[in-house]
Amino acid sequence: MASSLLFSVTRRDPVLISPAKPTPHEFKHLSDIDDQEGLRFQIPAIQFYRNDPSMGERDPAQIIRNSIAEALVFYYPLAGRLREGPDRKLTVECTGEGVVFIEADADVSLKEFGDALQPPFPCFEELLYDVPGTGEILNCPLILIQVTRLTCGGFIFAIRINHTVSDGIGIVQFMSAVGELARGARAPSILPVWQRELLNARDPPRVTHVHREYDQVPDTKNTTIPLSNMVHHSFFFGPTEISALRKHVPHHLRRCSTFELLSACLWRCRTIAVGPDPDEDVRIICVVDARTKFKPPLPAGYYGNGIALAMAISPAGKLCQSPLGYALELVKKAKSDVTQEYMQSVADLMVIKGRPHPHFTGVRTYAVSDVTRARFGEIDFGWGKPVYGGPAKAGVGAIPGVSSFFIPFRNGKGEDGLVVPICLPGPDMERFAVEIESMIQETMLDGSSKL
């Protein structure tokens, strides 16, 4: 990636796009999963598209702008504004005011970004401009979109959405609807489903699981990662790298999922790199799609948050000194704990505890999220599938550097795999890269690993 690439972007004034037809003015409650403190932030995503000669002189910005207005007829709550009521309960007032849209041009071609488009992206703040007064959680537009035309005829679609109203799958569902309408459909193939009451607390609420992810743990040893000198880098894991890592675990664990294996590996290597006190507990949060954990599953079209934050905990010293299989078993156990009852217990906890924030500190917690099934790479506005589609950066929320996404990616050699953006202070990043490389090379050289 041409991370040193510099270019200028000329933007038109931002406008509000409201639904193309009148929509109901009503109040729609978020679920008790949606409105927890830990989801009150903005999620950025970005899509890069090539020029398609068959589209002729059609303007992607104009086509997408019109299609957003049409999509908001179906997704009219997204054109509203969030209000906070008693006990910090969030509700969308469906005002029809609209979402923010920016039309822009950049003096750069898609080719200049390099063969391997992946985070971090150069001049990202120019490709998704933070319009002053639009980034708050309450009483602000829920979505900001910028379409930037490139000199080659390609374009970049960037979006920022309030996480309380949608998770990754929900965001892609809305973007896909815009794409279908842009390609001439009269309605989205999957109609949106609100039904946020499916993830509300019971009456009376009762917590039936231990939810360590919401523990409020003070940083008594002052080990939070400083936000200065942060370095962003992406790591590619193709079939060769995954196979090498799999050789580090005992035979009875080798049929684990790629997500479980890679999560355990990154957690262990990151902990070694940042070097917390050996006696200090470190945590990994695995963002799990819980839609299919329900019986029946959450309905197709549900675009609210259907995610669980499954947590594993270990003393730092034990995690660093134990073989990879130790971390892997902890990750597998955390994921398997997510059931319908677990999700119901989380919703109940939100009501009882006042919608607490998950436990995040820069050193002691690391969060991972697999967006391969969200299908960012399938979104087509008429110019075909994106060259890159997915999260725009490593780390989201209030604390940079504590989270990573697993993003489908094809490298310059044509290999399909995952790219994982990582954000760490410079010296920690160097140690992290060495740890990852040594684990991969160790098994690639002799075909085995000490278990």
Higher pLDDT, 442 or 210: 210
In the chain, pLDDT over 70 holds for what percent of residues?
91
Question: What does the pLDDT average to over 58-64?
Answer: 98
- pLDDT for 451: 42
Give the residue from 78, 74, 48, 79 showing the smallest Cα distance to 147: 48
- pLDDT for 398: 46
60 close to 383: Cβ distance less than 8 angstroms: yes
Catalytic residues: 163, 380
How crowded is the C-beta side of 63, counted as CA atoms within 13 Å? Answer: 21
- pLDDT for 396: 54
Confidence of residue 138 (pLDDT cuts 50, 70, 90): very high
| Residues 227-266 pLDDT 10s | 667 888 899 999 999 999 999 999 999 889 999 999 999 9
| Residues 98-122 pLDDT 10s | 999 999 999 999 999 986 688 888 8
104: tokens are: 């822009």
Residue 2 in this model has a pLDDT that exceeds 80: no
pTM of this prediction? 0.92
- CA separation for the pair 45, 357 (Å, rounded): 23
Sketch out the chain's domains with CATH numbers: 9-199 (3.30.559.10), 212-446 (3.30.559.10)
360 CB burial (10 A radius; 0-12, 13-18, 19+): buried
Q: What is the mean pLDDT of the chain?
A: 91
55 CB burial (10 A radius; 0-12, 13-18, 19+): middle
By mean pLDDT, which of 119-123, 146-150, 330-334, 417-421 is the weakest? 119-123
Confidence of residue 308 (pLDDT cuts 50, 70, 90): very high
- pLDDT for 382: 97
| Residues 6-34 pLDDT 10s | 999 999 999 999 999 999 999 999 999 99
- If DSSP codes are grouped into helix, strand and coil, which group holds residue 65? helix
Confidence of residue 84 (pLDDT cuts 50, 70, 90): very high
| Residues 350-409 pLDDT 10s | 999 988 877 666 558 899 999 988 999 999 999 999 999 999 876 655 455 688 999 999
Q: What is the 3-state secondary structure (H, E, C) of the chain?
A: CCCCCCCCEEECCCEEECCCCCCCCCEEECCCCCCCHHHCCEEEEEEEECCCHHHCCCCHHHHHHHHHHHHHHHCHHHHCEEEECHHHCEEEECCCCCEEEEEEEECCCHHHHCCCCCCCCCCHHHHCCCCCCCCCCCCCECEEEEEEECCCCCEEEEEEEECCCCCHHHHHHHHHHHHHHHCCCCCCCCCCECCHHHHCCCCCCCCCCCCHHHCCCCCCCCCCCCCCCEEEEEEEECHHHHHHHHCCCCHHHCCCCHHHHHHHHHHHHHHHHHCCCCCCEEEEEEEEECHHHCCCCCCCCECCCCEEEEEEEEEHHHHHHCCHHHHHHHHHHHHHCCCHHHHHHHHHHHHHHCCCCCCCCCCCEEEEEECHHHCHHHCCCCCCCCCEEEECCCCCCCCCCCEEEEEEEECCCCCEEEEEEEEEEHHHHHHHHHHHHHHHHHHHHHCCCCC
- CA separation for the pair 19, 10 (Å, rounded): 26
- CA separation for the pair 228, 203 (Å, rounded): 46
- CA separation for the pair 149, 329 (Å, rounded): 47
Secondary structure (DSSP) of 363-398: TTEEEEEE-GGGTGGG--SSS-S-SEEEESSS--SS
Question: What does the pLDDT average to over 69-85?
Answer: 98
Instruction: For residue 382, count other CB atoms closer than 10 A to its CB.
Output: 17
- pLDDT for 227: 61
Residue 319 in this model has a pLDDT that exceeds 90: yes
- pLDDT for 309: 92
- pLDDT for 400: 55
Tokens 């360590």 sit on residue: 212
